Amino acid sequence: MLGWVVLALVVAGAVYVRAAPLQPKRWHVAPQVAADADLPQGVRRLVPADAMALERFDAVARAAPRTTVLAGDVSEGMVTYVTRSRVVGFPDYTTAMQDGADLKIFARLRFGRSDLGVNRARVDGWLRQAGLR
């Protein structure tokens, strides 16, 4: 009986993670980035770049598996993406903003206390693919 209760809780948690509202007003906010920082819940990156950096970053992010645009557009100067984990579908949010000659990026998890470096690996990979690192 206890096994069924545990299974039901796990399934309910997985359904909630996938069905929880994405809340663009909460997640699509200008990243506060003064320097690169690796955090337990995500990563901040400050990339000195040209005025086309966000456009190149956006092309790579939009092509990434399980990644969609939550809000914003390159023409607005800021885009927030949602990338979901393969199995459970945990959402991670990545906001990229062109600020003059700098590209500011803040990637963070929604659920949990540690992303185990997933956001760092993803963002650094996207930056390499975009030719920005």
CATH of residue 106's domain is 3.30.310
pLDDT at residue 32, as a whole number? 95
Judge whether 8 lies within some domain. no
Task: Domain count for the chain, please give it.
Answer: 1
Of 80, 91, 79, 99, whose CA–CA distance to 33 is shortest? 99
Compute how many other C-beta atoms are within 10 angstroms of the C-beta atom of residue 4: 8
Domain interval for residue 47: 23-129
Is 103 within 8 Å of 86 (Cβ atoms)? no
Judge whether 28 lies within some domain. yes
Compute how many other C-beta atoms are within 10 angstroms of the C-beta atom of residue 111: 13
Size of the chain, expressed as the number of residues it contains? 133
Is 130 within 8 Å of 57 (Cβ atoms)? yes
pLDDT at residue 73, as a whole number? 97
Judge whether 125 lies within some domain. yes
* Consecutive H or E run containing 69: strand 67-73
Judge whether 10 lies within some domain. no
Residues of the chain falling short of pLDDT 70: none
pLDDT at residue 129, as a whole number? 98
